[in-house]
Structure 1
Amino acid sequence: MKKRAALALISCLSLSVATTSTIMANEQKADFEQTELFGEKYSVKTEVTDNNVIYETISESGERNVFIYDRSSKTATLNGDDIELRIEKFKDPNLSRTNVKMASTSYTPVYVNTQTISFNDIVTSISAIATLIGGVISVANLIGLALPSIAGVIGDWAGAVGLGSLAAGWYCSGGFTYNLYRTTGAVQLSGALNPQIAYRYQNCSVNFAVKGKSMSYNYSQVGSWWYASNPY
């Protein structure tokens, strides 16, 4: 399929991302939320099922864009066209070495690996950009990253560099990098029947680049502990 779409904007996605968190907990269909991007009103909806993450926008002028992430194949499309979306893992040897130096209790975090969600593509319209970045944030939210503040940071940057007046056809790239940690020993989380090893994400950073303009932001908030393996 023909590739299309790409990178960053969003000035008011914090509300939609917060809504996404609720939907992900309940796995139910969302209603449209109203937001405004570069002076144009948008209706935004996120739906999470066992198989997909679906992020849909409709602009005031009637342009509709739909981002779909397949949770099984870990692939994504925008309006049916493939997006170059990658989710990768690697070990940071420096962080691995810190594991043996720390005094530990059961809750002492132990580094497991570093993971990335990244994408590369071509800007086709401002509405498509908003849909793509909102979709990628929804995928990141699905795996346990708390991102409302990142949405605001990206929105501020997008406005500062003038993405609202950006013409189509520019190559874009971006993504999130974050570390997975586990507890040293089995712990008892709220609602659990028995103690188990728990996991969480922390040390998230975000970067985007378009038309020679780039941003990088380190996000200090630590995620909550959860049980089982990688949730996405």
Structure 2
Amino acid sequence: MSADRPYENLKSLLIFNKKEEDLLTLALQNMAADGNDVERLLKKMSRIYDLSKVSNTFDKNFLSKMDRLEKAKTDKKVVILRDYHSTNSSTVADRRVEPFKVSAEDDILHAFDLDKKQVRHYRISRISKLDLTDSDWQHEGSHYEQATDPFRIHSREHLRVHLRLNVGAYNALLESYPIARAYLKAAPDAAEQFDLVCKVNSKFYGLSNFIMGNYQNIVAIYEPDELIDHIQAEAKLLLGKINYFFSPY
């Protein structure tokens, strides 16, 4: 496997269609070998097949960015994130960073921002392109992983939230934020409803957009009061904009 194209090569190696999977499974099951060995092989094949489905969701551009970020991390070099689309600041700008952790499954890059002088999280999918530089890391001592909330937001201040979702909101949440599965439980007193209980950033980034975009499937917001007040304020702002859009000239 070529050392400079690991992710694209990995993708090409791990693609099995359903017929191939079935044939491999049948062959293993009919092998005249120790049952434990066959079982281990079947489990390994199952994991590889799952990886092939995951790898198939990454397009060529995403894999290329992953490849470059991993190389920069290994070589301890600075990269420039070109035209990064920031949701929080609503800006498109370049970022000069030292990348030290790349998480494809979470679509997250952990890096030290050379302009802000702090660790930041970036969505890999929001990076237009990457430029590798010859500049060495200068702040490795400041590289440390910061935990994110289920909405992939890092914050020093967190608040506990409790929401109740119906099936539609449950599906929408997991499709956009798979890590939230760990904080979802079936409602004890209602069929086909789910409780989301977790700590999130105190600005409610991510969560408020989810609620506003799926309001028809949100059964209830139980806590905290700060979240309820925040959503009410957002709803009033939205209503004001709607009235403005449709007001006569």
TM range, normalised to the smaller chain? under 0.3
| Structure showing the higher helix proportion among its residues | 2
Select the structure that is richer in strand: 1
TM-score by length of 2: 0.22
Query: TM-score of the superposition, structure 1-length normalised?
Result: 0.24
User: Of the two, which has the highest radius of gyration?
Assistant: 2
Higher relative contact order (CA 8 A, sep 6+): 1
